Homo-oligomer: A and B are copies of this chain.
């Protein structure tokens, strides 16, 4: 069974906070990403290419906090994180705090395939992007009025927002903006990718879980492919993605059992709000979250197709 699952962030996303028009736009964005990634799987493409295509679609959509729609940092710029992992080869690529790269997930894939490294950061990552011909985009490309307004409201404070930590802004609550995709391809290989702009008004070069292999992103054909979204610090401390893999490999849990255990029984007691998407090599999927909502979608070769926002 081939499967593609995607997310566009989790958090306090209540029906009362989204207008019907905005809700429809989010669902359309999720469907576009599913179409983009699933098309590759349907044509016999690899899980790695499918998750990259789905994440590119979400990065290019200004509704989501990644790529074009990335939030502003304390300094009014955009610092982007992304990771990708191939469950067949256990190869991985990640980028942290890079600027002016149009699609950070494509840079992460380039690092995975064409460098001796797993994780590059900051200006140096941009230099590698140029060397490899990865598309750049200037700050203006990442300037969306919506994100700018979010930042202007808090930029003079020491406050930062996980996309939205408070209900200050119309249409959203405490939302952990990240995008991600996981896929099972026709050869039974799996892959995961994650991309984010991080926290609005973030400073000090903060890195969350998204680009960290084992925490926000992980894939292994023998167990699962995982992409997380949530309060990154908790996901880092709990090594969430690899924990799910280990519960399956060492404890014999199913994908769903392992995901539920980590999201509900481990993260929730720590105060770690968020969720994740997961697939295994058989094409099973899970999309657990302990927050009010998670932008999510899944499409499988058994005919399943759904996009959803709320609990």
Interface residues of A (CB under 8 A from B): 90-92, 96-97, 115-125, 127-128, 160, 203-208, 212-215, 218, 232-233, 236-239, 242-243, 246-247, 250-251, 270
Quote the shortest CB–CB distance from A287 to chain B (angstroms). 23
For the complex, what is the distance from the CA of A233 to the CA of B122, rounded to whole Å? 18
For the complex, what is the distance from the CA of A169 to the CA of B80, rounded to whole Å? 38
Quote the shortest CB–CB distance from A257 to chain B (angstroms). 13
Contact present for B116 and A233 (CB under 8 Å): yes
Cβ-closest chain B residue relative to A242: B239
Contact present for B205 and A236 (CB under 8 Å): no
Contact present for B214 and A117 (CB under 8 Å): no
Contact present for B237 and A205 (CB under 8 Å): no
Contact present for A204 and B239 (CB under 8 Å): no
Contact present for B206 and A236 (CB under 8 Å): no
Given known pairs A122-B97, A215-B213, A250-B250, the reply for A117 and B233 (CB within 8 Å) is yes
Cβ-closest chain B residue relative to A234: B118
For the complex, what is the distance from the CA of A56 to the CA of B138, rounded to whole Å? 41
Contact present for B243 and A96 (CB under 8 Å): no
- In the complex, the count of this chain's copies comes to 2
Quote the shortest CB–CB distance from A34 to chain B (angstroms). 28
Partner of A205, one of B123, B203, B232, B242: B123
7 A-B contact pairs sorted by A residue (CB < 8 Å): A90-B237, A121-B206, A122-B122, A128-B204, A213-B236, A243-B246, A250-B251
Contact present for A206 and B96 (CB under 8 Å): no
Given known pairs A204-B127, A205-B125, A250-B250, the reply for A119 and B213 (CB within 8 Å) is no
Contact present for B242 and A117 (CB under 8 Å): no
For the complex, what is the distance from the CA of A128 to the CA of B207, rounded to whole Å? 14
Contacts of A239 in B (CB 8 A): 213-214, 218, 239, 242
Given known pairs A92-B237, A239-B213, the reply for A205 and B118 (CB within 8 Å) is no
For the complex, what is the distance from the CA of A97 to the CA of B122, rounded to whole Å? 9
For the complex, what is the distance from the CA of A246 to the CA of B220, rounded to whole Å? 16
Contacts of A92 in B (CB 8 A): 236-237
Contacts of A213 in B (CB 8 A): 212, 215, 236-237, 239
Most B C-beta atoms less than 10 A away, residue of A125, A213, A218: A213
Contact present for A204 and B120 (CB under 8 Å): yes
Most B C-beta atoms less than 10 A away, residue of A214, A232, A238: A214
Nearest 6 Cβ contacts at the A-B interface = A124-B205, A246-B246, A250-B250, A121-B205, A214-B239, A124-B204
